[in-house]
């Protein structure tokens, strides 16, 4: 026989609550305290963890670049150059290695790094000589003290 409305014991009930809870708890298993067991505390911790990891992915790039710069600075100070002089002179000599590569070369290929430092030093000296010019004073200008009487 056809019934027009459903029986009272036929309801829509949530059957996979266990798996929905496990989906969140699986990311919290290595946390400390009750937040690795209790769902209510775990939800908040897991949400914060995800948000922190998204923000950290953007900051990792900044952090790694600062690390490379520190390493390059340490390595080029061993060869008697400072970091700004090294990088600017390398770029002026049209060598386009990025900081990650130069840091790796400084760690694993010391001879190559020494040759890069020598290249930068030579380009620096050539730059100074080009800027100083001939050493003559420009015409029409005198630099002795003028007495007004």
Partner 1 sequence: VAKTSLTSPPWPEVKLPDPVEEAKYHAELVQKVNKMIATGQYGRLFAVVHFASKQWKITSEDLIMMDNVLEAECGDRIRLEKVLLVGADDFTLIGRPLLGKDLVRVEATVIEKTESWPKINMRFWKRHNYQKKKIIVNPQTVLRINTIEIFPCLS
Query: How many whole angstroms separate alpha carbon 39 and alpha carbon 34?
Result: 9
Residues 126-145 that bind partner 1 (CB under 8 A): 126, 128-129
C-alpha 10/C-alpha 21 separation (Å) is 25
One of 111, 136, 144, 147 touching partner 1 (CB under 8 A): 111
Contact residues for 106 (Cβ-Cβ < 8 A; gap 6+): 71, 72, 75, 76, 113
Can you tell me which of 21, 38, 51, 66 binds partner 1, judged by CB under 8 A? 51
Candidate list 56, 78, 101, 110; residue touching partner 1; CB under 8 A: 101
CB atoms within 10 A of CB 28: 19
Site residues (CB under 8 A) for partner 1, limited to 70-99: 93-98
* Long-range contact set of residues 126-135: C-beta below 8 Å, sequence gap at least 24: 127/89, 127/92
Query: How many Cα atoms are found within 13 Å in the side-chain-facing hemisphere of 111?
Result: 0
In this complex, which beta carbon is closest to partner 1, that of residue 15 or of residue 94? 94
How many residues in the shown chain lie near partner 1 by CB under 8 A? Answer: 28
Site for partner 1 in 53-72 (CB under 8 A): 53-54, 57
Binding site for partner 1 (CB under 8 A): 47-48, 50-51, 53-54, 57, 93-98, 100-101, 104-105, 108-109, 111-112, 115-116, 119, 125-126, 128-129
């Amino acid at each position: 026989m056809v019934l027009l409305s459903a029986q009272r014991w036929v309801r829509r009930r949530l059957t996979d609550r266990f798996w929905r809870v496990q989906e969140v708890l699986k990311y919290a298993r290595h946390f400390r305290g009750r937040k690795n067991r209790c769902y209510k505390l775990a939800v908040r911790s897991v949400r914060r963890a995800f948000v922190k990891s998204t923000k950290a992915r953007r900051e990792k790039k900044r952090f790694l670049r600062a690390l490379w710069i520190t390493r390059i600075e340490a390595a080029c100070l061993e060869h008697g150059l400072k970091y700004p002089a090294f990088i600017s002179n390398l770029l002026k000599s049209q060598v386009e290695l990025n900081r990650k590569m130069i840091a790796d070369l400084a760690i694993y290929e010391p001879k190559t790094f020494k040759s890069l430092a020598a290249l930068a030093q030579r380009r620096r000296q050539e730059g100074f000589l080009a800027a100083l010019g001939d050493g003559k004073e420009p015409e029409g200008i005198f630099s002795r003290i003028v007495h007004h009487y």
